[in-house]
Amino acid sequence: MSLLPVEDALSRLLAAARPIAETEQVSLHKANGRVLAADLTARLTQPPFDASAMDGYALRAVDAAEVGSILTVIGESAAGHGFSGTVVQGEAVRIFTGAPVPAGADSILLQEDTEKLEGGRIRSKFAVTKGRHIRPRGQDFAEGDVALSAGLSLDFSHLTLAAAMNHATLPVFRRPRVAILATGDELVPPGTSPGPSQIIGSNTFGIAALSRDNGAEVIDLGIVADNRDLLLEAIERACASGVDVLVTLGGASVGDHDLVQSTLVSAGMELDFWRIAMRPGKPLMVGRLGAMQVLGLPGNPVSSLVCGLLFLEPLLCHLGHRQAPLRMAAATLRNALPANDKRQDYVRARLTHRDGGLPVVESFGKQDSSMMRIFSQSDCLIVRSPHAPAAEAGETVPVMLLRP
């Protein structure tokens, strides 16, 4: 099988995936970051009454149209405790921000624009105009208004609005469920002492974090040795748990010790493609096992994370009705780069931001895909298309932001 271009591989992956249709109701406290599954209509009108926007006096504008007008204060209207009477000619009601405007009043005279007199009277120091400093009923929204639309990724402002609309729970799409299966006799979990031929299995934690960052629930199937029976058992656990995506880490190639692909095929997986024209990350595998999408990532940590950004992130966003993060940008190259070969290259690099113009990008000198420390220090990946000619310092290059 020839190497598949990155863009073609991503298109085929997403074309085979169907966005999750299942929905659930969650409380406002648990809805942050969830995707709204239906339009949300207001259950009341806000504000529910004409309300004062300032502290002052509610009155009829005609009674204070001129500076020096004198009015008698007949009561008080505070938030939660409105004035029950009616304002008539020559009267005013002491009012506070957010309080209902009394019947008969049509304007607010600010407290700093008044002078208190004896006998419960005030004198105006400002000519009042009708409607001044009043928030009319329904200024924000009216009962029945669609104020939040389906497909929104809910944030703090949306949740505040939903609460004001009198919703205690919200309809949201179910999160994508991801099972992560790390494979290899050489792997042991962090916190243990590796044997003479073993290393720490680290990929799971980065891929799990990336999955959660994109709205998914994660099931960690642990580390499974290079044993067909044990691999089949883990695959069956993934199927039984009802996950949408099974992510395998390592063993997706066809070497003597790479058992993941053949074991999945024997379990019923329909293999779509594997081997991508990219560096790092060539041995990527995509298939389907029943209703479960299968994404086999390379065992190398850097390759695994780069493939996770390029393929797992957009897949989860597609399944979960989310907009994928905007990771592509442009930068000015600080150091020259050699011509590229037939694979699309993702070069680890640092960005330097400057005033005006594009940020400056400088690649690391070493690009070995085993060097996770350099990846963690990178801000972006310089994207080098297949057969790209040598690039000189000062040229504009596309970059993929690691922290958009």
CATH number of the domain enclosing 110:
2.170.190.11
Q: What is the mean pLDDT of residues 241-266?
A: 86
Q: How far apart are CA 98 and CA 296, in angstroms?
A: 58
Q: How many CB atoms lie within 10 A of CB 208?
A: 18
Cα dihedral 116/122/125/130 (nearest 10): 140
Q: Any bridge partners for residue 226, and if so which?
A: none
Residues 381-395 have pLDDT tens digits of 999 999 999 999 999
Q: What is the mean pLDDT of residues 339-356?
A: 92
Q: How far apart are CA 83 and CA 57, in angstroms?
A: 12
Domain-embedded: residue 224 = yes
The better pLDDT of the pair 270, 3 is held by 270
Q: Is the pLDDT of residue 324 over 70?
A: yes
Instruction: Residue 203: give its domain's CATH number.
Output: 3.40.980.10
Q: Any bridge partners for residue 134, and if so which?
A: 52
Q: How far apart are CA 37 and CA 21, in angstroms?
A: 9
**Do 293 and 366 share a domain, yes or no?**
no
**Do 180 and 304 share a domain, yes or no?**
yes
**Do 206 and 252 share a domain, yes or no?**
yes
**Do 218 and 242 share a domain, yes or no?**
yes
**Do 199 and 234 share a domain, yes or no?**
yes
DSSP string across 202-269: -HHHHHHHHHHHTT-EEEEEEEE-S-HHHHHHHHHHHHHTT-SEEEEES--S-STT--HHHHHHHTT-
Q: What is the pLDDT of residue 253?
A: 65
**Do 183 and 312 share a domain, yes or no?**
yes
Last residue of a domain, one of 288, 319, 350: 319
Q: How far apart are CA 194 and CA 212, in angstroms?
A: 28
Domain-embedded: residue 156 = yes
What pTM, to 2 d.p., does this model score? 0.90
Q: Is the pLDDT of residue 370 over 90?
A: no
Last residue of a domain, one of 278, 295, 319: 319
**Do 249 and 277 share a domain, yes or no?**
yes
**Do 238 and 286 share a domain, yes or no?**
yes
What single-letter amino acid sits at 118? E
Domain-embedded: residue 1 = no
**Do 280 and 388 share a domain, yes or no?**
no
Q: What is the pLDDT of residue 252?
A: 67
Number of Cα atoms under 13 Å in the Cβ half of residue 399: 27
**Do 368 and 384 share a domain, yes or no?**
yes
Nearest to 302 by CA among 277, 281, 282, 316: 281
Instruction: Residue 33: give its domain's CATH number.
Output: 3.90.105.10
Domain-embedded: residue 140 = no
Q: How many CB atoms lie within 10 A of CB 235?
A: 26
**Do 11 and 79 share a domain, yes or no?**
no
Return the structure tokens found at 189. 């979990």
Helix (H, G, I), strand (E, B) or coil at 179: strand
Domain-embedded: residue 270 = yes
pLDDT level of residue 2 (50, 70, 90 thresholds): confident
Residues 193-217 have pLDDT tens digits of 999 999 999 999 999 999 999 999 9
Cα 247 from chain centre: 21
**Do 263 and 383 share a domain, yes or no?**
no
Domain-embedded: residue 218 = yes
280: cis peptide before it, omega within 30°? Answer: yes
Residues 17-55 have pLDDT tens digits of 999 999 999 999 999 999 999 999 999 999 999 999 999
Nearest to 61 by CA among 81, 87, 85: 87
Residues 87-122 have pLDDT tens digits of 999 999 999 999 999 999 999 999 999 999 999 999
Number of structural domains in the chain: 4
Instruction: Write out the residue range of the structural domain in which residue 154 sits.
Output: 26-44+146-173
Q: Is the pLDDT of residue 225 over 80?
A: yes
Q: What is the pLDDT of residue 1?
A: 56
Domain-embedded: residue 311 = yes
What spatial distance separates the first Cα and last Cα of the chain, rounded to whole Å?
Answer: 35
Q: Please, are residues 363 and 336 in contact by the beta-carbon 8 Å criterion?
A: no
Last residue of a domain, one of 319, 346, 375: 319
Angle at the Cα of 269 from the Cα atoms of 189 and 173, rounded to 5 degrees? 75
Q: What is the mean pLDDT of residues 292-311?
A: 96
Angle at the Cα of 401 from the Cα atoms of 207 and 315, rounded to 5 degrees? 45
Q: How far apart are CA 332 and CA 13, in angstroms?
A: 32
Residues 145-184 have pLDDT tens digits of 999 999 999 999 999 999 999 999 999 999 999 999 999 9
Q: What is the mean pLDDT of residues 340-347?
A: 96
pLDDT level of residue 256 (50, 70, 90 thresholds): low
The mean predicted confidence, pLDDT, of the chain is 95
Q: Is the pLDDT of residue 74 over 70?
A: yes
